[in-house]
């Protein structure tokens, strides 16, 4: 194996190569650092590259390998995280000029657990300001989608999506408030998981919305996703909402076919008139693959999904404004204009309206759970269209229908799982004729990540999408 | 006399203690109106018997 081959490995393959001494942790780190140096000036995936720290950690890991011993399934793997996770002594910007000098005094629990799993922190990744999405002038550069540099990699874990598509890290942890992990995974042909809310500690993850944010494993493969989730999940006394349930082996269902698995296609999303025809065809094809694997597929209806985008914005933006009250009162001028005006508008929403959105959220969850008594896994596209051009994101709205479609309803696809606190995964589901990625989204009941990952793995292994390389990754 | 969108926005912002940049008041007002208009759609739902919660209690799904 040459140094140039290393970054194309998955995280699991990298750890195996280290364990079997085909490569050393230092060689792995040098290979990634060389790619970052070569490609990231254009892609803007990273805010901070921890070159010296990562190389020092890799040298230590090399000594551990030489001493022998029981190395875990992620040992020596270079991981980069969204710059929303606190890292002790290391700049943590949250993608905002407001935090340009913020150096936390403690690690987020996710960072601690990644370290305990033997991974090496390679750097901190770019994101939309305050993990909101819609930043017009990102202080650390516009992240470019390696599948088409003129297109967005998705928001808000944009750097994670770019770094995975360009193979500038072996694995990543982003954050998902309403699709911030799954969206970039979809647009960059990567895997992104939103776990059940309370499955992973939020300690040290700067909040966007107190009751929607989750850490989100973002990876090149479903297996890597299962390994990263296994490493970071579990109770944490520093986040009182974390579940005390034991953390299972999330790879336990790998290699099994889908006989006995009931799959439901969400009608309200599949019949979205605004859906791109090639996305619709990709979902149709994905259902065929699931059937071939033995799954029983049917259509299900969740009527309130039609309003999920509105409910999501009503909850998320209002909570987001609450979480950022200090900034809005004292230093709003330092925010990006789009972030500032969006948060300011949300800060004005009356409590009665917010409460109504919270109630609708409960009703939406009831509808999801009713359907999840009939099927085990839900299917939809992750996004109704392939990644748009950067310029399309900031184009002015033309009328109320345009606002509804572009700002509210598109959030229903991923926001519905955030609102219902259910796990969902986006994985590569195909490509358009223009070679743009299409994401397939699977959702399941509370704490059903093991099933979700098992179904995702079966689909991934039956399709070629995860093996395709982005043009911008070839450098 | 009814307040204009911008005047209503200024008044609410003052009430909640959020200073606005004068040149951006129209944009904030437009965003606010759009948000409220969209959320008005939720009034069609029967939510009378539902208690809002922030974090859902853990529950099992039948296997």
Tokens of A288: 């065929």
Which residues on B lie below 8 Å from A310 (Cβ)?
38-39, 41-42
For the CA atoms of A186, A188, A190, A196, the dihedral, rounded to the nearest 10 degrees, stands at -40
pLDDT tens track for A308-348: 999 999 999 999 999 999 999 999 999 999 999 999 999 99
- Kindly write down the DSSP assignment for every residue of A388-417, as one continuous string: PBHHHHTSPP-SHHHHIIIIIGGGHHHHHH
Cross-chain CB nearest to B31 (options A197, A345, A446): A345
CB-CB neighbours of A247 under 10 Å: 16
A446 vs B61: CB contact, 8 Å cut-off?
Answer: yes
Residues A205 and A110: beta-carbon distance below 8 Å: yes
pLDDT at A474: 84
pTM here? 0.97
Can you tell me the distance from the alpha carbon of A139 to that of B6, in angstroms, rounded to the nearest whole number? Answer: 30
Cross-chain CB nearest to B20 (options A344, A358, A363): A344
Question: Which is catalytic among the residues A24, A82, A128, A339?
Answer: A82
Higher pLDDT, A76 or A68: A76
Nearest to B56 by CA among A419, A129, A341: A419
- pLDDT confidence tier of residue A196, bands split at 50, 70 and 90: very high
For residue A286, is pLDDT > 60?
yes
Active site residue A82: yes
Average pLDDT over residues A33-60: 98
Residues 6+ apart with CB under 8 A from A336: A96, A97, A129, A135, A136, A137, A138, A139
Residues A218 and A79: beta-carbon distance below 8 Å: no
On the question of a cis peptide bond just before residue A156, with omega within 30 degrees of 0, the verdict is yes
Active site residue A157: no
B18 vs A328: CB contact, 8 Å cut-off?
Answer: yes
pLDDT tens track for A430-461: 999 999 999 999 999 999 999 999 999 999 99
Mutate to test the interface with A, among B6, B10, B12, B18 (most CBs of A within 10 A): B18
Question: Which is catalytic among the residues A10, A180, A243, A426?
Answer: A180
Least Cα separation, residue A315 to chain B (angstroms): 10
For residue A397, is pLDDT > 90?
no
Residues A243 and B58: beta-carbon distance below 8 Å: yes
Residues 6+ apart with CB under 8 A from A45: A36, A80, A125, A126, A143, A159, A160, A162, A163, A166, A168
ipTM of the complex: 0.94
Nearest to A347 by CA among B30, B42, B17: B17
Residues A241 and A202: beta-carbon distance below 8 Å: yes
Active site residue A180: yes
Least Cα separation, residue A344 to chain B (angstroms): 7
pLDDT tens track for A152-186: 999 999 999 999 999 999 999 999 999 999 999 99
pLDDT at A400: 67
3-state DSSP assignment of residue B8? helix
pLDDT at A20: 95
Q: End-to-end alpha-carbon separation of chain B, Å?
A: 61
Which residues on A lie below 8 Å from B19 (Cβ)?
329, 332
Residues A262 and A431: beta-carbon distance below 8 Å: no
Please give the distance of CA A386 from its chain centroid, rounded to a whole number: 16
Average pLDDT over residues A275-280: 97
Phi then psi for residue A175, to 5 deg, are -140, 145
pLDDT at B62: 56
Which residues on B lie below 8 Å from A311 (Cβ)?
42
pLDDT at A359: 97
pLDDT at B2: 80
Cross-chain CB nearest to A310 (options B9, B38, B54): B38
């Amino acid at each position: 194996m040459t140094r140039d081959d290393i970054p194309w490995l998955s995280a699991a393959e990298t750890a195996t190569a280290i364990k079997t001494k085909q490569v050393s942790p230092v060689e792995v780190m040098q290979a990634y650092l060389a790619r970052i140096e070569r490609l990231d000036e254009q892609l803007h995936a990273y805010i901070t590259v921890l070159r010296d720290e990562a190389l020092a950690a890799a040298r230590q890991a090399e000594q551990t390998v030489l001493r022998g011993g029981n190395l875990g399934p992620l040992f020596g793997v270079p991981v980069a995280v969204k710059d929303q996770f606190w890292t002790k002594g290391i700049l943590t910007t949250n993608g905002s000029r407001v935090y340009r000098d913020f150096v936390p005094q403690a690690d987020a629990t996710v960072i601690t657990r990644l370290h305990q799993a033997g991974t090496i922190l390679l750097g901190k990744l770019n994101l939309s300001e305050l993990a909101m999405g819609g930043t017009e002038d990102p202080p650390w550069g516009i992240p470019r989608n390696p599948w088409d540099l003129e297109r967005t990699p998705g928001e808000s874990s944009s750097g994670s999506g770019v770094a995975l598509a360009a193979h500038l890290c072996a694995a990543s942890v982003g954050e998902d408030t309403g699709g911030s992990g799954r969206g970039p995974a979809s647009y960059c042909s990567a895997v992104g998981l939103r776990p059940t809310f309370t499955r992973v500690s939020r300690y040290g993850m700067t909040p966007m919305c107190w009751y929607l944010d989750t850490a989100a494993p973002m990876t090149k493969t479903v297996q890597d996703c299962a390994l990263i989730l296994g490493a970071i999940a579990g109770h944490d006394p520093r986040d009182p909402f974390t579940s005390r349930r034991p953390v299972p082996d999330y790879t336990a269902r790998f290699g099994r076919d889908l006989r006995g698995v009931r799959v439901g296609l969400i009608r309200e999303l599949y019949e979205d008139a605004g859906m791109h025809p090639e996305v619709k065809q990709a979902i149709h094809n994905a259902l065929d693959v699931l059937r071939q694997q033995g799954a029983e597929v049917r259509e299900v209806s969740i009527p309130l999904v039609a309003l999920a985008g509105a409910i999501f914005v009503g909850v998320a933006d209002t909570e987001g404004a609450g979480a950022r009250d200090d900034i809005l009162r004292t230093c709003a001028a330092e925010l990006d204009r789009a972030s500032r005006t969006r948060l300011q508008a949300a800060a004005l929403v009356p409590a009665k309206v917010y409460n109504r959105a919270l109630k609708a959220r409960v009703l939406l969850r009831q509808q999801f759970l009713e359907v999840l008594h009939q099927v085990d896994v839900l299917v939809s596209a992750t996004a109704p269209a392939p990644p748009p051009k950067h310029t399309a994101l900031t184009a002015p709205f033309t009328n109320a229908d345009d606002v509804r479609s572009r700002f509210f309803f598109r959030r229903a696809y991923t926001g519905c799982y955030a609102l219902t606190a259910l796990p969902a995964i986006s994985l590569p589901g195909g490509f358009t004729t223009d070679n743009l990625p299409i994401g397939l989204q699977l959702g399941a009941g509370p704490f059903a990540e093991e099933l979700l990952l098992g179904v995702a793995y079966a689909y991934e292994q039956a399709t070629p999408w995860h093996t395709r390389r982005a043009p911008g990754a070839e450098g | 006399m009814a307040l204009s969108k911008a005047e209503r926005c200024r008044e609410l912002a003052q009430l909640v203690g959020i200073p606005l940049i004068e040149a951006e008041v129209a944009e904030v007002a437009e965003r606010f109106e759009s948000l409220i208009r969209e959320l008005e759609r939720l009034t069609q739902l029967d939510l009378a018997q539902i208690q809002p919660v922030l974090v859902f209690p853990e529950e099992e799904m039948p296997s």
